[in-house]
Amino acid sequence: MELLDASLPYLLPIVYALAMISVFMGLCSYSVLAERKVSSWIQGRVGPNRTRLPLLGHIPILGNFLTRLGIFQPAADGLKFLFKEEIVPGHVNKFYYMLAPVVALAPALTTMVVLPFGRYVDVDGITQPLVLANVDLGMLIILGISSLGVYGIVLAGWASNSKYPFLGGIRASAQMISYELAMGLALLPVFMWAAFPGSDYGMSLFGAVQSQQTLWLFIWQPLSALIFLVALFAETNRLPFDMAESETDLVGGFHTEYGCFKFGLFFVAEYAHVIMGSALFVLLFLGGWNFLPGLADPWGDGLIGTLLSVAWFTAKVFAMIFFFIWMRWTLPRFRYDQVMSLGWKILLPLAVGNLVFNTIIIALYDTFTR
Amino acid sequence: MAKTKVLERKPLTFAEKTFLPQIVSGLKTTFGTMMQKGVTLQYPEERPNIPDNYRGVPTLVKDPNGREKCVSCQLCEFVCPPKAIRITPGEIDAEAEPDRAHVEKAPQEFEINMLRCIYCGLCQEVCPEEAIYLQDVFSLSGYSRGEMINKKEKLYELGGTLPDQHGKWDKKKAAEQAGNAH
């Protein structure tokens, strides 16, 4: 018993982390399903509706409904990747070839450490975030680590030792570099407003959410939101910016030479990035777990209130994921040079202008209200 | 020559240059499609409506009294472009059908090789007895080449009975009873 008490402070974080990882991976696999379903609905198709688990799939009415919805499909997808023959082409650099999928997935999973997903009221009556590690520089950590994800893609492209993956890797890195700037600059006004002098929160994401209790940032910082959203699409390598894959001209892009579970890891990493991006956008611009603009926190202090805040946050994230998917099946791909010119010639100047504009507004506000 | 009309190409407005209105209208379109009811036919459970004149797998039919209509004249065998049909003519069993025996013939064996058949429908067109029909069976499969050769029993099983407008044997019987057999 004493041993348990003594080891609890060390054990609990591990348990929390494992729980979060499993929820997150579950979300990843189900966003793959969402992608398949939504794409098929948009294209007038039906989508996966045959996979059926024994027992669960044979409950009279519910089982049929779940099967039609494709609920059991992710299990089949995952197992398929697991049981396929591991083929390593002869011309690749084996070490880096194996390393690349891991490097692609790890950053996406690491960033969730600082991602708050709800709030609770502690014994002193202070609102606290539900988060694995509540650090003051949460946003910086996310920006720093998530941009490491591109190394996975570059590594994959390079290690594959073949033309198409190489081109995909090069494109991905160029694209990431050009959109990272606009993304960071679009975020600065948010934190300039959120972390005003004397605020307790600094650059933590929790602070950004708490500052949106009256008005969501999306409403009064639409330009920042737009730039951030576009950059987010580019960062996650999703259509209309999926330069790294671009099936039409690069076969499979960076994962052309990958099969079975290694491809599965890339696949999961892409959706992990999408979920992280959605969660980030919800936290920064859509008010996180705040209910509606003007009506921030109608939930109580207790456990139910906490759960409701988590549920509301999750619902918003799902809506954002849907938006990502919806966008993908609506827009065609940009040409590579268009992506570059959009990033450097339009988004970057816009973001700089937005930053300067907000700085002036804040300066004027500070001068005239004191 | 058709008169061509040159449309003036206006420069893009500011809103159009941002792409945003176009993106929004595109999103509306896809969302509209998403809300529509699908047109997919859930195939093995739901079957398509086959029109009456569909040319499916060729089958042999019987008349409403259960008599074989085919008299093994072998016209279909001769007309069949890919030579898919093979008929072995035979006698009608005199005990089972005393009326018809020694008057008409019947196929002793009737084979249609479905690996050769091109579903052209010439056999149906040429048949003087309206005994062979291309009906609504469209999915045919087998595990071996032998299975893909439809034998007589299979052909009758697939064909079943079709309504007969002529009633050749019924008329003959009626005429016999009226006293003018020939």
- The predicted-structure confidence for B14-48, as pLDDT tens digits, reads as follows 888 878 888 899 899 888 888 888 788 888 888 88
A306 in the same domain as A355:
yes
A68 in the same domain as A91:
no
> Domain boundary at A61, A83, A105, which?
A83
- The predicted-structure confidence for A101-116, as pLDDT tens digits, reads as follows 888 888 888 888 888 8
Chain B residues within 8 A of A44 when measuring between CB atoms: 33, 36, 38-40
Mean pLDDT computed over B3-19:
85
Measured between CB atoms, which of B26, B27, B36 is closest to A44?
B36
> Domain boundary at A50, A65, A83, which?
A83
Q: What integer pLDDT is reported at residue B181 of this predicted model?
A: 65
**Number of domains composing chain A:** 2
Chain B residues within 8 A of A239 when measuring between CB atoms: none
A253 in the same domain as A269:
yes
Mean pLDDT computed over A219-233:
86
Best residue in B31, B34, B37, B40 for a mutation probing chain A (most A CBs within 10 Å): B34
Mean pLDDT computed over A348-357:
90
Answer whether B96 touches A (CB < 8 Å). no
Chain A residues within 8 A of B42 when measuring between CB atoms: 46
A320 in the same domain as A336:
yes
A102 in the same domain as A67:
no
Determine, for residues B33 and A46 on separate chains, whether the beta-carbon distance falls below 8 Å: no
Rounded to whole angstroms, the Cα distance separating A110 from A190 reads 23
Beta-carbon count within 10 A of B42 CB = 12
Q: What integer pLDDT is reported at residue A199 of this predicted model?
A: 67
A124 in the same domain as A30:
no
CA distance B15 to chain A (A): 14
Q: What integer pLDDT is reported at residue A284 of this predicted model?
A: 85
Q: What is the domain range of residue A124?
A: 86-369
Q: What integer pLDDT is reported at residue B83 of this predicted model?
A: 92
A37 in the same domain as A154:
no
A289 in the same domain as A156:
yes
A191 in the same domain as A127:
yes
A133 in the same domain as A162:
yes
Determine, for residues A329 and B30 on separate chains, whether the beta-carbon distance falls below 8 Å: yes
A93 in the same domain as A76:
no
Rounded to whole angstroms, the Cα distance separating A219 from A33 reads 31
Determine, for residues B33 and A38 on separate chains, whether the beta-carbon distance falls below 8 Å: no
Rounded to whole angstroms, the Cα distance separating A70 from A49 reads 5
Q: What integer pLDDT is reported at residue A135 of this predicted model?
A: 77
Q: What integer pLDDT is reported at residue B84 of this predicted model?
A: 92
Answer whether B41 touches A (CB < 8 Å). no
Q: What integer pLDDT is reported at residue A222 of this predicted model?
A: 84
A17 in the same domain as A117:
no
Range with the largest mean pLDDT of A137-151, A213-227, A291-305, A350-364: A350-364
Alpha-carbon B99 to chain mean position? 32
Measured between CB atoms, which of B30, B39, B42 is closest to A330?
B30
Sign of torsion, CA A289 A292 A296 A302? negative
* Fold of the domain spanning B58-161: Alpha-Beta Plaits (3.30.70)
Identity of residue A50: R
